Every structure is written in C-alpha cells, then in structure tokens.
C-alpha cells in the first residue's frame, strides 16, 4: 500500500483516547513500513464556525505538536481550519485534503470522528471514501475504564475548571500542564520567604479553578516540584487572577522564560487570611504538602 498513515483529529489535550489513536497508527505504520503523520486542526473548528463560545484549549499548538511527536508520530501536519475547509463535502475532504495533500493511504480516527460540511461524514463514509481512493480507514474505540464513559476533551476541561486535577490526569494520562511566560508580578511571595514565578498562560488556555495545587514546573530540561496558587490573592485584594508557582529547591531568575506548570493535586481552595503572618504559616503548610506530593509520599 502506498502513502502514509494519518492519525486524524483535533487532538486538543492529546488525552488517553488520542494516544490510543496514535498507538494504532504507529502499529499500522510499523507493520506496513509506512510513515505516521499526526494531523491536527488549528484553530479549533468551533472557534471558526462560531458554534457558541470557542472552547478553551488544553494544549496550545506548540505543546500539542510536541506531545504528538512524543507519542510516536514521525511528523505533525497542522491543517488550517477555515471557512473554505469547513465547506468541503466529505468526498472533497478525503479526496483533496487527506489523499491529495496528505498522501494518506491509511487514516486512523476515533470512533465518533465526523468530518466534512456540517459534520455530514462519519466513519462509515470515511471507510468507503478511503476504499474508493485505494486506501483504508481504521476506527479506534476508547472508553474510560473506571466509568465506561467516553473520554473527551470537553469532559477534561470541565474537570480542570472545577479543580479535579487527579481525575483529569487519569484521562489525560499525565498531569495537566499550562505553558506560559514568566513575567514580573507583585513580588509579595518574596516578602514572605516564598518567591513565586508569575506565569502568564495563553489567553485561550484552560485555567484550573482557584486554589493551591501541588505539582511541578518544567524549565527547559529540568523539572522542579512546585506549590502553585491560582487566584486573586484575596488577602491582598488583587483584582485579576494569576498563576503563581513556588519552585521547590530552585534558586535563579526565570523572568522571560517559557515554562510548563504541572498540576498534580489540589491542596485547598483559595481563602482570605486575617493578615500576612497567618498567610505565611498556611503557605508553609502548603509547601510541605506539595513537597510530599513531589516526593511521591502522598
């Protein structure tokens, strides 16, 4: 069979369902000695079609591409999603885009994947159209082993919005990560002995519920345990919500660096304290708990 294996989907989050699609694509590629391409749409289709508010993203494009390569793809193909593409019929999408531009010989998708104008095409259509083009299509069925429910990016977004990071991590196959630039903050953490990195995520990123989290911060190739606060610092009456991470056992300047903030577990909700000393004692307890999580002791 000629062509390449295309793992096709929006792939926001690259969750365990997406990973299974990639695993099957890699399996097909190895068996047939074909290259594997992960094809992802950007921007998110809902952001173009105006079907309600555009969804917040679990993975910005750069991070998504890194993950797709990390899970076995030889190359990532970013398909620009615009109104012209959205108006292509299922037949046109397969003939012109998948086969014509992408050189697809095998296409691997999740079982519920739909495509073409007004999402008119389903897997049976994809199978038929690929067969007519001399190729084949494969559908992957993935369910949450705990509940039997579908694993979806929508479900994971809702969990993160509510601070349910442990359950979200189970569906992602790893802790949720926010990527952002370290910018200058209020420097209040430094004044109480816990200097934090004020991380500015992309505007369309999913931000966890307000609270304090145990997790990690990845700086280049190095990873540090971290205690991260998401919120408005009510003790100081700040107006806007921020992501502020205290890195365990780190000493250095991160201003201007791009870092990944990982959220393993929610320690507590955000709360207002009567004064700086009470806040400092609580932060000390938070950091101790975050260290236990980082060391795998809790």
Say how far apart CA 236 and CA 16 lie, in whole Å.
Answer: 40
Grade residue 148 by pLDDT with cuts at 50, 70 and 90.
low
The helix or strand, by DSSP H or E, that contains position 219, with its residue range, turns out to be strand 211-219
Mean pLDDT within 130-149: 83
Grade residue 99 by pLDDT with cuts at 50, 70 and 90.
very high
Mean pLDDT within 224-229: 96
Say how far apart CA 190 and CA 112 lie, in whole Å.
Answer: 50
Mean pLDDT within 40-48: 91
Per-residue confidence (pLDDT) for residue 46, from 0 to 100: 85
> Which of 1, 8, 2 shows the shortest CA–CA distance to 98?
8
Domain ranges for the chain: 4-140, 176-294
Asked whether the predicted pLDDT for residue 227 surpasses 90, the reply is yes
Q: Where are the alpha helices (DSSP H) in 51-209?
A: 61-70, 83-86, 90-92, 123-132, 153-161, 165-172, 188-191
Asked whether the predicted pLDDT for residue 278 surpasses 80, the reply is yes
Asked whether the predicted pLDDT for residue 145 surpasses 60, the reply is no
Q: Percentage of residues in the chain with pLDDT exceeding 70?
A: 91
How confident is the prediction for the chain on average, in pLDDT? 91
Asked whether the predicted pLDDT for residue 230 surpasses 90, the reply is yes
CATH code of the region 4-140: 3.40.50.620
Say how far apart CA 66 and CA 287 lie, in whole Å.
Answer: 30
User: 215 by DSSP, 3-state: which?
Assistant: strand
What is the domain class of 176-294 according to CATH? mainly beta
Mean pLDDT within 202-216: 95
Mean pLDDT within 105-132: 96
pTM: 0.90
- 78-82, 237-241, 249-253: range with highest mean pLDDT: 78-82
Asked whether the predicted pLDDT for residue 140 surpasses 90, the reply is yes
Per-residue confidence (pLDDT) for residue 50, from 0 to 100: 75
Tell me the per-residue pLDDT of 178-203, one tens digit each, with 9 for 90 and over.
999 999 876 666 666 688 999 999 98
Would you say 90 and 120 are in contact if contact means Cβ atoms under 8 Å apart?
yes
Per-residue confidence (pLDDT) for residue 56, from 0 to 100: 92
The helix or strand, by DSSP H or E, that contains position 22, with its residue range, turns out to be helix 16-32
């Amino acid at each position: 069979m000629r062509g390449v294996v295309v793992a096709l989907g929006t792939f926001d989050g690259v969750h365990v369902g997406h990973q299974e699609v990639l695993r099957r694509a890699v399996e097909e590629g190895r068996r047939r000695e074909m290259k594997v391409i992960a094809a992802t749409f950007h921007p998110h289709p809902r952001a173009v079609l105006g079907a309600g508010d555009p969804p917040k993203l679990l993975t910005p494009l750069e991070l998504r591409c890194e993950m797709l390569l990390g899970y076995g793809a030889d190359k990532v193909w970013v398909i620009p999603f615009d109104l012209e593409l959205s108006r292509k019929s299922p037949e046109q999408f397969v003939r012109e885009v998948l086969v014509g531009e992408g050189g697809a010989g095998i296409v691997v998708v999740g079982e519920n994947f739909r495509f073409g104008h007004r999402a008119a095409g389903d897997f049976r259509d994809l199978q038929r159209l690929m067969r007519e083009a001399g190729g084949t299509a494969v559908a992957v069925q993935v369910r949450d082993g705990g509940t039997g429910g579908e694993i979806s990016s929508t479900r994971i977004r809702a969990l993160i919005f509510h601070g349910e990071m442990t359950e979200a991590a189970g569906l992602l196959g790893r802790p949720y990560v926010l990527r952002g630039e370290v910018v200058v903050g209020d420097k209040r953490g430094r004044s109480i002995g816990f200097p934090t990195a004020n991380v500015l995520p992309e505007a369309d990123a999913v931000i966890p519920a307000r609270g304090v989290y145990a997790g990690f911060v990845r700086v280049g190739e190095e990873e540090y345990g971290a205690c991260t606060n998401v919120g408005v610092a009510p003790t100081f009456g700040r107006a806007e919500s921020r992501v502020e991470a205290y890195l365990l056992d780190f000493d250095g300047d991160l201003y201007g660096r791009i870092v990944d903030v990982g959220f393993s577990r929610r320690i507590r909700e955000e709360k207002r304290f009567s004064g700086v000393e009470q806040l400092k004692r609580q932060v000390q307890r938070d950091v101790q708990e975050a260290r236990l999580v980082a060391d795998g002791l809790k």
